[in-house]
Amino acid sequence: MNDLISKAAALISLPEEQRRDQEKFEQINFALSQQLQIIALKAEKNEETFTRMARNAPFGMYMFDRDGNPKYVNNAYLRLIGLDRDTFEQAAARGLAWKDTIYEEDIDLASNIWTRIRDSKTAQTFEYRVKIPPVQPGEKPGIRTIETISFPEVDESGRIVTVQGWLMDISPRKRLESLMAQRLEDALETRRASENFIDMVSHEMRNPLSAILQLADGILGSLDIDLAKDPISLPADTVNMMVDAAQTITLCAQHQKCIVDDILTLSKLDSSLLVITPDKVHPPTLIEKSLKMYDAELARADIEANLVIEQSYLDARLNYVMLDPSRVLQVIINLLTNGIKFTRDCPTRKIS
């Protein structure tokens, strides 16, 4: 009897449990629907945000299928290639819309890059030029230099789904590079012209210097006579002064000639053809020559200059050394002129 009562009660309560389960299922279903709707709204909002960002981006954005047909391009892309959307879509219906805008000389480059993207399935960065339609009738089409970064989107099977990328106008940078290259070329041309002018002037300076050296040697030769045998000879002091002056002229002219020769050798520096001419030289004699050349200036500045030979040099017993006398003389003269410059105002004026 009790079993019958329990079974009857279970049969009565079964619809109530089913009803509660149904209500619970409906609540879960409603919650899932609400959540799915929220996710869909967020996805739609994100898509709108991305679309708005792409539409207002300052650089071109594009998406092509694996055959090069456009799936999406933003306004900046159309502006960079110089087409409106209607014209671009009409061109796309006839074939590859982007190919018609490329400068003729760069079509092969763009085609090769597109083939490389499809074959290697890797991102590619390259530059090319596009034709810009003229603003006024009768004008020639303009040219704009574009830099693009293209990368393929590949599915699980390794098949290219889309090719995406960005476009940037680098025409200002290219114009600046061209301007800098032109200025560099102008500077190099100016330098070459200056070097040629200096070479020409230096060659012209050699002629009077040679004449000065010849005349000074002639004076020295004419004064090198036996004063006792020449009744009309000048006084000995006058002759000695003239000889000394002629020797100084010779030394100065020789130094000036060395400077001219050095200027001429500067043009050979770029080719590593600078000539060093070692010779057998007695160093004290070389220094005495430099002091002789500046006797007059030393006297005007009331500076005493003398040559002091260190004992270490005497102990070495080096009468002659191999060096380039003209180069070493330049160094000595440089040191001597600096010494005169910084000593002329000192209480004790002495150079040794």
The 10s digit of each residue's pLDDT in 198-230 is 777 776 776 677 777 777 777 777 666 544 455
Which residues are within 8 A (CB) of 114 and not within 5 positions of it... i.e. 6 or more apart? 68, 163
Alpha carbon of 236 to those of 178, 223, 245, 297: distances in Å? Answer: 73, 10, 14, 25
Q: When comparing pLDDT for 12 and 235, which is higher? A: 235
> Rounded to the nearest 5 degrees, what angle is found at the Cα of 60, between the Cα atoms of 55 and 63?
85
Contact between residue 144 and residue 169 where contact means Cβ atoms under 8 Å apart: yes
Does 7 score more than 60 pLDDT? no
Residues 114-168: tens digit of each pLDDT: 888 888 888 888 888 888 877 777 777 788 888 988 889 888 888 888 888 888 8
Q: How large is the average pLDDT for residues 323-350?
A: 81
CA distance linking residue 12 with residue 137, whole number of Å = 92
Residues 300-331: tens digit of each pLDDT: 778 888 888 888 888 888 888 888 887 788 78
Residue 264: phi, psi to the nearest 5? -65, -35
pLDDT of residue 228: 46
Helix, strand, coil percentages in the chain from 3-state DSSP, rounded to 5 = 65, 15, 20
Q: When comparing pLDDT for 84 and 229, which is higher? A: 84
> Rounded to the nearest 5 degrees, what angle is found at the Cα of 111, between the Cα atoms of 106 and 113?
95
pLDDT of residue 17: 64
Contact between residue 168 and residue 60 where contact means Cβ atoms under 8 Å apart: yes
